[in-house]
Amino acid sequence: MRQIFLDTETTGLYHAQGHRVIEIAAVELINRRPTKQHFHYYLNPDREIDQGAQEVHGISLEFLQDKPRFADIAHELIAFIADSELIMHNAPFDVGFLNRELGLIDQKPVESIAAKITDTLKIAKEMRPGQRNSLDALCRHFGIDNSRRTLHGALLDAELLAEVYMAMTRGQNSLMMDLDKPNIASSGAAPQISQPLFVKLANEAELSAHDSYLASLAKSGNCLWTTLELAPVIETPPVESLSVELTLTESQSAQ
């Protein structure tokens, strides 16, 4: 599965008012692993940048004067995102700007180029309703280092978004079922183990470290593991005694 994490920076907030893309970046993951393939350009917008937008991303019009225009990199961008799952944070914003840029040069919209569009902001709101779900907030929540993000930058934001998405969807691979394979349990066939199972028991040092860790947990609050260890054990009679009692009961009833 090929996934592209994409972010843009713009001259302002509203593409309908003629604002343009001034930076675009995308990073590639295949089967949830980074490939180190990325797409990144600064772009000359041929218009002024709103002061508020420049304060967010720090990109000046002077810096962009010698940069290519969107039309110059459009075909390379289309080839990079084609037939992928395109993942963005607040996807309607980026898709709106990209579709305007593509429309200006008579190209198909993003929805016709990518196989699927995923909005991580929508996912985050469903997971964390009522909470802040900006990229910075999600980095803090999932323990992702965003200390380099003093200003918004498309390439860094795309890389951070990939890490956030992986954290948000961790474990989804193990939950996926291959429907093409027969269900062994339902067919009644016993599973075949091609290799013997190897069980490695903890040594004394590892057991001691485990006990020390439980002790540290107990200091900070209730430790469920130690609570279970201290619970009284209800002993049950061995199977042999149960069968003897049953035999006597049957003999007495026969008399």
Taking Cα atoms as reference points, which of 8, 203, 188, 210 lies closest to residue 95? 8
Type of residue at 13: L
Task: Work out the number of other CB atoms within 10 angstroms of the CB of residue 90.
Answer: 15
Question: Model-level pTM?
Answer: 0.66
Taking Cα atoms as reference points, which of 92, 83, 97 lies closest to residue 118? 92
Which one of 15, 57, 89, 152 is the catalytic residue? Answer: 152
The domain locations on the chain are: 2-172
57 among known catalytic residues: no
- 2-172 CATH choice from 3.90.1010.10, 2.40.50.100, 3.30.420.10, 3.40.50.300: 3.30.420.10
Dihedrals phi, psi of 38, to nearest 5 degrees: -145, 160
Beta-sheet strand order (sheet of 2-10): 33-42, 21-30, 2-10, 85-88, 116-119
Residue with the bigger pLDDT between 242 and 104: it is 104
Based on its alpha-carbon atoms, the radius of gyration of the chain, rounded to whole angstroms, reads 30
Which residues pair with residue 119 across a beta bridge? 88
Q: Which tokens is 248 given?
A: 């006597």
Q: Encode pLDDT of 16-62 as tens digits.
A: 999 999 999 999 999 999 998 999 999 999 999 999 999 999 999 99
Q: Encode pLDDT of 204-245 as tens digits.
A: 777 777 777 676 666 655 566 656 555 555 555 554 544 444
Task: Work out the number of other CB atoms within 10 angstroms of the CB of residue 203.
Answer: 9
- Residue 203's pLDDT band, with cuts at 50, 70 and 90, is confident
